[in-house]
Amino acid sequence: MKSLLDAGLPVASSCDGDGVCAKCKIVIIEGQENLSSENETEAFLKEKNNIPRGTRISCQTQVLGDVTVDATYW
């Protein structure tokens, strides 16, 4: 989420990145290997909200290299 906001891109969120709402989900197009591993909070949110594979919760994900993403709210 921080990387997206730093790049000037809007991020959907009602919890301001506290890992509660899962609205900040993004689809990973390229560069999955350049993201941090899923943490417990992200795994819980994805299971609770039936979020598909290849989609990440941006507030719970750290960018470690080049990544191409998409979101339904752009």
Question: Once rounded to an integer, what is the mean pLDDT over residues 51-61?
Answer: 96
In our burial notation (b when 16+ CB lie closer than 10 A, e otherwise), range 3-22 reads ebeeeeeebbbeeebebebb
For residue 27, pLDDT beyond 90: yes
Q: What is the CATH number of domain 2-70?
A: 3.10.20.30
* Domain spans of the chain, in order of start: 2-70
Report the share of the chain in percent with pLDDT over 70: 100
Stretch 21-47: mean pLDDT: 97
Give the pTM.
0.92
